[in-house]
Structure 1
Amino acid sequence: MDALARYIAQQNLQPGDRLPPERELTAALKVGRSSLREAVSQLSALGIVEARIGSGTYLLRQISAETVYMPLSLSADGLAEALLMTLEVRRGIEIEASVAAARRRTDEDIQRMEAALDEMERTHHREGGSGKADFAFHMTIYDAAHNPLFRQLLEQMHDILERFWDRPFDRPDFAARSFPYHRTLFDAICAGDTAAAAEETRKILDVVEEDIRNMRP
C-alpha cells in the first residue's frame, strides 16, 4: 500500500484523476496483480480511491505514504501497562464499531463475519487459542460498520494492537475465556441489536483486562 501511495504522490495525481491501468501499475511498482489489488482494496477501505465498474479506479483525495500509514507509538513501563493503556482506546473504538455494524451490516457482511468466526472457532478448538484468526474476525466487524475512519485508526494503531493477538506474556490461553462471547456478539450484530452488540463487546474486553492484570509477571 505504501508503494502505491508513493506512486500516486510522485505522479502528482489529483482528486478526480483516474489511476493508470492495472498492467501499467504492476510494471511501475514491480508487483504482481494480487498485491496491487490488495493495495487498491486497502486504499478503497480508507476512502482514498474508488473503483468504478467499467471506468477504472479514481483518486478521491490527495495522499502520501506518510498520511496513509502513520503508526502510533506508546511509551509504557512494560507490556502489561502498554496493553492496559491501549485497551482504554480499544474499548471506545470497538464498542462503537460493534454498534455501527449492528446498524449497517449487509448480508454480505454477515457472510464474511460468519466465515471469519468459523475459522476462529476452528483455530481455538485446534490450538487452544485463536490469535490472528480472532483479529481477522474483529476486522470483519470494523468493515461491517461501513465507516472508513475505523479502518484508518486500525492502520495507525496496527503495531500496538498486534500485541493483543501475539500471545502476550507467552500465554497461548490469553483471553481464551472471551471465546464464547464472539459468537454471541456475532448473533447480536446479525439481529441488529445495538445494545446487545455493545454489551457482548464489553464482555470480551473485560476478560482481556482481567487476563492482563492476572497474567502479568
Structure 2
Amino acid sequence: MALQAKPTTEKAGTEERSVLDRLVALIEEEGIDVGDRLPPELDLAQRLGVGRSTIREVLKSWQSMGIVTRNKGAGTTLAAEVSRRSIHVPLTLRLEAESLIRTHAVRRPLEIEAVRLATRNASDKQRKVILARMAELMAIFEAGEEDWRPADHRFHAAIHEATGNPLFLQIIWQIHHAFHDVYQTPFGQPKLGEATIPMHRPLAEAIAAGNEEEAARITARILDRVETEVREIMERGE
C-alpha cells in the first residue's frame, strides 16, 4: 500500500517543487500566520511568476490537505503553520510530511475497513482477481525493471471493488490525490513505501482465504510502515 506518486518527469517535479518553495517563502516573508488571509490568487500568480490556474490548483490541494481554508467571499486563510520553526528540518520537507501524515490518518481506517469488507464479501472470481493482481505486482517489483506503482494501484483497486461499495474506491483515491496533486514526488522519492510491497503477498492470500482478522492486521502493518518511513525521513531532514 505504498503512497503512490503520479507518473511525472524529473523536470516537472522540479518545477512543481520550485512553485511550492516560492509560495512557502512568500508566506514566511509576509509574516502570514494561522488564521491570516493569503493574498488573492491573481496577486500570488504575479508575484510567483506562474499562471493563475497553477496557483488555484495548489491552493485547492492545500485545502484538501487542511493547510488552508477557502471561502468564495472571504478568500484563502492559512489553517496550518508553515513558518520556519525548525532549524534542522527544511520547511518544505516538514510541510510535505505533516500533510502526508494527515491524509494518511484519514485514509487508514478506510483502508482497513475496505480490506475487512473485501475479505468478507468477495466472490470467488474477485478473490482470483486479487491474487492475480498481487502476482502481477510481485513479478514487476521483483524484476526491478519497471515502475511497480501502476500494478500496486490495480491491486488495491481490486480490493476496493470487492467490498461491494464503490464509495471506498472513490473516497480513498480522492484522499490520495489530494496530496499527490501537489506533491507528485513526496520528499523527492517517487517510490515511497516500497518496503511494504512484499507484505502484499500475505495480504492477498489472507483475503483469498477469507481470514478477515489476518488481512486487517497485515493492512495495519503496511500503513504503520509507511507512516514510520515518512517520520524517519522528516527526522533525518533528507
Pick the TM interval, shorter chain. Answer: 0.5 to 0.7
1:93 and 2:110 are equivalent in the alignment: yes
1:120 and 2:145 are equivalent in the alignment: no
Instruction: After TM superposition, give the deviation of residue 162 of structure 1 in Å.
Output: 4.3
Distance 1:151 1:142 in 2: 5
Which residue matches 1:83?
A: 100
Distance 1:160 1:173 in 2: 18
1:73 and 2:40 are equivalent in the alignment: no
Distance 1:110 1:162 in 2: 29
Q: 1:140 to 1:166 in 2, by over 3 A?
A: farther
Aligned 8 A contact 2:112 2:216 in 1? yes
RMSD of equivalent CA atoms: 2.6
Instruction: After TM superposition, give the deviation of residue 172 of structure 1 in Å.
Output: 4.6
- Number of matched residues? 147
Aligned 8 A contact 1:128 1:172 in 2? no
1:44-91 CA-to-partner distances (Å, cap 9, x unmatched) read: xxxxxxxxxxxxxxxxxxxxxxxxxxx871233521111100111111
Which residue matches 2:209?
A: 191
Instruction: After TM superposition, give the deviation of residue 141 of structure 1 in Å.
Output: 0.6
Q: 1:127 to 1:204 in 2, by over 3 A?
A: farther
Instruction: After TM superposition, give the deviation of residue 210 of structure 1 in Å.
Output: 0.8
Which residue matches 2:128?
A: 111
Which residue matches 1:171?
A: 189
Paired-residue identity, %:
35
Instruction: After TM superposition, give the deviation of residue 137 of structure 1 in Å.
Output: 1.0
| Secondary structure at the counterpart of residue 174 of structure 1 | coil
| Secondary structure at the counterpart of residue 146 of structure 1 | coil
Q: 1:89 to 1:127 in 2, by over 3 A?
A: farther
1:136 and 2:135 are equivalent in the alignment: no
Aligned 8 A contact 2:130 2:159 in 1? yes
Which residue matches 1:37?
A: none
Q: 1:174 to 1:155 in 2, by over 3 A?
A: closer
Select the residue among 137, 140, 145 that pairs with 2:163. 145
| Secondary structure at the counterpart of residue 112 of structure 1 | helix
Q: 1:172 to 1:124 in 2, by over 3 A?
A: farther
Show the 5 A alignment for 1:7-18: none
Q: 1:116 to 1:149 in 2, by over 3 A?
A: same
Instruction: After TM superposition, give the deviation of residue 156 of structure 1 in Å.
Output: 3.4
1:182 and 2:200 are equivalent in the alignment: yes
Q: Which runs of 5+ in 2 are unaligned?
A: 1-60, 68-81, 83-94
| Secondary structure at the counterpart of residue 64 of structure 2 | coil
Which residue matches 2:220?
A: 202
